[in-house]
């Protein structure tokens, strides 16, 4: 047993670092009323309509980002794997570029290029949202790229495509009904990361939309004005993120099981 002393110590240290702030935030969120534990802070959070609206906004943006990334990346990567292997390093490099541009710098560049004439995209709501979506796609690009790439590597793409073609399927059918279902688990992985990124993303939303439209800027604003509500929101957002992680993991496992079944 003594041989395992150090590993246990390091793991305990890590777990303590991980859970202590979460535990403290939870306790703190219950102390809105002096002397007793109560859920008053949570009531106040839900009473503010901007909480729900900003969360819904960010959720929709996250789902849209995931969808657009898949539409952009799955065909591109499939073609690269099948026909254009020589172009792969270029696209691979492009997918790494977002790591090189910090989000503050990215939004700075966006405002400089797109927010002034001749483009002036940010003059309309739709233009601003479109630009924000593009920014989110850039931020999640490396993760989506990696997970789709891993998915495509893991399947026998050429055989699947040739088999579908010989059965008379067109490319749309091949993508939607053959390739996508086969890489779904791998793509879920990147989708989860993307979801977490977009929900928690402050910088782009803060400088493109101002304070209270998206979730994270709304949180930051609440944090400046209140004491207990931020803690309550932190607990809630952690629960929500964790819940979504669990759902996605559950979905992922299930599909893995069904895929592995027939083999």
Partner 1 sequence: MANGAAQTWWRQIEWRRVGVSLTVAPFLLFAVLFMILPAGSLLIESFRNAQGQWTLANFADMNDPMIIEAYAMSLRISITTAIIGAILGLLVAYAITVGGLPRGIRTAILTFSGVASNFAGVPLAFAFVATLGRTGIVTALLTQLGINLYKNGFNLYSYAGLVLVYVYFQFPLMVLVMTPALDGLRREWREASAILGANTAQYWRHVALPILMPAILAGMVLLFGNAFGAFATAYALTGGTFTMVTNVIAQEMSGDVLHNEALAYALATGMIVIMTITIGTYTLLQRRAERWLRA
Looking at beta carbons only, is 41 or 182 nearer to partner 1? 41
Angle, in degrees to the nearest 10, between helices 180-200 and 229-260: 170
Looking at beta carbons only, is 63 or 248 nearer to partner 1? 248
Q: Running DSSP on this structure, what letter comes out for residue 112?
A: H
Please, what is the minimum distance in Å from the beta carbon of residue 72 to partner 1?
Answer: 6
Q: Is 132 exposed, middle or buried (0-12, 13-18, 19+ CB in 10 A)?
A: buried
The Cα 189–Cα 143 span in angstroms is: 9
Please, what is the minimum distance in Å from the beta carbon of residue 47 to partner 1?
Answer: 19
Please, what is the minimum distance in Å from the beta carbon of residue 103 to partner 1?
Answer: 6
The Cα 129–Cα 209 span in angstroms is: 8
Looking at beta carbons only, is 66 or 262 nearer to partner 1? 66
Please, what is the minimum distance in Å from the beta carbon of residue 184 to partner 1?
Answer: 19
Looking at beta carbons only, is 34 or 262 nearer to partner 1? 34
CA 181 to centroid of chain Cα atoms: 20
């Amino acid at each position: 047993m003594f041989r395992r002393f150090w590993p246990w110590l390091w793991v305990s240290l890590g777990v303590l670092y991980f859970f202590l702030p979460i535990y403290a935030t939870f306790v703190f969120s219950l102390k809105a009323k002096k002397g007793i534990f109560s859920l008053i802070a949570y009531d106040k959070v839900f009473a503010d309509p901007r909480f729900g609206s900003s969360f819904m906004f960010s959720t929709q943006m996250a789902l849209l980002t995931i969808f657009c990334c898949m539409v952009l990346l799955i065909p591109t990567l499939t073609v690269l794997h099948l026909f254009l292997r020589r172009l792969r390093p270029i696209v691979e490099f492009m997918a790494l570029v977002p790591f090189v541009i910090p989000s503050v710098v990215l939004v700075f560049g966006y405002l400089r290029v797109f927010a002034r004439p001749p483009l002036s995209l940010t003059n309309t709501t739709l233009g601003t949202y479109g630009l924000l979506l593009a920014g989110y796609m850039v931020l999640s690009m490396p993760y989506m790229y990696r997970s789709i790439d891993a998915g495509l590597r893991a399947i026998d793409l050429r055989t699947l495509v040739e088999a579908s073609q010989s059965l008379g399927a067109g490319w749309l059918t091949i993508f939607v009904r053959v390739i996508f279902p086969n890489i779904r688990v791998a793509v879920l992985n990147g989708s989860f990361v993307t979801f977490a990124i977009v929900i928690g993303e402050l910088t782009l939303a803060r400088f493109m939309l101002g304070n209270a439209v998206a979730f994270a800027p709304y949180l930051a604003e609440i944090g400046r004005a209140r004491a207990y509500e931020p803690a309550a929101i932190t607990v809630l957002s952690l629960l929500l993120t964790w819940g979504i992680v669990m759902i996605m993991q559950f979905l992922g496992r299930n599909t893995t099981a069904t895929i592995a079944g027939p083999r």
